Structure 1
Amino acid sequence: MKNILLVDDHPFILDTYVTMLKKTNSFKFENFLEATSVEKALSIINEEKEIDIALFDISMPKNSISNIEDGIDLALHFKSKHPNAKIIFITMHTEFYILLKAVHLVNPEVFISKNDVDNFTFTAIIDSLKKDKLFYSEEMLEVYKWANQTKIKLDQYDFQILSLTNKGVKTKELINSLPLSLSAIEKRKSNIKLTLADFKGIKI
């Protein structure tokens, strides 16, 4: 592990992460590749030949040109370019469908809340990665266990429907944002509702 990509739209948070990583006792990185925008992150992802670890914040400003909605979509693109790299999510999000999207589509090695970050966190994270072990916060671990137990089958379109619906977009308006027919969207909504029936607060 030599090169690490750090993506967060707040520069001071990136500075904090770099400082903490430099203090880790278990490993010393050679290169810190930093991005505060989707555009910069895509440039690094597409141009760098070797990235060993990538850290993503889930909340990122939408990139209309690349159709990247958030850090999860960015991580999916990263995986397509660097399939052997390890992925870390650090987020303030606690919404079930967002955590599920991250776990189900990306399956990161590390997934924690920003509230859990302290001076010892990154040493523990690097140690876990070296041992090929997962490192999850409690909320994220519960979602991970549930997703694996239920063997859900949702794709990116399903999660787009969930996201837009939770933002108040009506079913008939979803066709303006998705390359799907109204009947296809309605079928997907029924499947999502059945899949996530046990979870309150999911609007669908």
Structure 2
Amino acid sequence: MSTKNILIIEDHPLVYNSYLAAFKTIESKFTDYKFVINISENCDDAIKKINESVNNCKIDLVLLDISIPPSNDKLYLSGEDIGVYLKEVLPDSKIIVLTTFNDNFRIYSIIQNLNPDGFLVKNDVTIEILMEAINKVISYQTFYSQSVLELGRKIIAQPYVVDKIDRQMIYEISKGAKMSELPKKIPMSIGGLERRKRNLKDIFGLEQSNTDRELIEKAEEIGFL
């Protein structure tokens, strides 16, 4: 019997309990597997569990929600930041992203930044689909749900990917920070940050004359906040 260490990063008990049920069903149907499961409901706890795993037992599979509470130090603002960190310190761990986002640009950004082994839009997910995804990914295959595949067909080549600095800038502006204050919070010049803001307005389909408030509203609409 093969033991697999699982980390579920999800802040809604109803959702992660459904994931636990899926793992339990897999164990009962396929006696090849035994799952040791931990749950993190926020970025701070997720980072703690990942760091503990670096020197102890590895994490075989992570079920990763993108919209989770940020870390207290604001270094990790979402599950996407956690996924990037996980790939740095535990590159052999498999990742299944589960998200409510269904905007094609947001999906594209997650794929480019994380290249997950599995990707499911939560509206697609039944316990059968989740079990199929888990079984395929732990067997070194990939699994993308129907919505992700359909959105992927709509994605054209993008010259710019929203990265951690962009997401941090969006977050700080959403909390009321002025552009002149951002270099104290983000290690970049005001000129570099202004260029990034212009790029974000372009890729979000906004005019350069649109206000910071309108930028934040658009970022929130497509899932970057």
Q: TM-score, with normalisation over the residues of structure 1?
A: 0.79
Is the CA contact 1:87–1:109 (under 8 Å) kept in the aligned structure 2? yes
Which of residues 27, 34, 38 in structure 2 aligns to 1:29? Answer: 34
Is the CA contact 2:98–2:119 (under 8 Å) kept in the aligned structure 1? yes
Separation in 2 of the partners of 1:157 and 1:45? 22
Is the CA contact 1:97–1:159 (under 8 Å) kept in the aligned structure 2? no
SS of the residue 2:14 aligns to? helix
Aligned to 1:74: 82
Aligned to 2:223: none
Which of residues 44, 48, 64 in structure 1 aligns to 2:49? Answer: 44
Aligned to 2:187: 179
SS of the residue 1:132 aligns to? coil
Separation in 2 of the partners of 1:174 and 1:84? 35
Is 11-20 or 80-89 further displaced after alignment?
11-20
Aligned length: 201
User: What is the CA deviation profile of residues 13-50 of structure 1, one whole-angstrom value per residue up to 9, with x for unaligned ones?
Assistant: 22221111211245633311222232322221111231
Is the CA contact 2:4–2:35 (under 8 Å) kept in the aligned structure 1? yes
1:59-138 to 2 correspondence within 5 Å?
A: 59-65=67-73, 67-129=75-137, 130-138=139-147
SS of the residue 2:116 aligns to? coil
SS of the residue 2:155 aligns to? helix
For residues 70 and 153 of structure 1, do their structure 2 counterparts lie closer, same or farther at Cα, with a shift above 3 Å needed?
closer
Which of residues 6, 19, 22 in structure 2 aligns to 1:20? Answer: 22
Q: Which runs of 5+ in 1 are unaligned?
A: none
Aligned to 2:211: none
Letter in 2 for 1:28: Y
Q: CA deviation at 1:169?
A: 6.6
SS of the residue 1:112 aligns to? strand
For residues 178 and 193 of structure 1, do their structure 2 counterparts lie closer, same or farther at Cα, with a shift above 3 Å needed?
same
Is the CA contact 2:124–2:147 (under 8 Å) kept in the aligned structure 1? no
Structure with max Cα Rg: 2
Separation in 2 of the partners of 1:103 and 1:42? 21
For residues 146 and 195 of structure 1, do their structure 2 counterparts lie closer, same or farther at Cα, with a shift above 3 Å needed?
same
SS of the residue 1:99 aligns to? helix
SS of the residue 1:30 aligns to? strand
User: What is the CA deviation profile of residues 67-125 of structure 1, one whole-angstrom value per residue up to 9, with x for unaligned ones?
Assistant: 11011111112112210111011122234554333212111111112222212022210
User: Structure 1 residue 190 and structure 2 residue 195: aligned?
Assistant: no
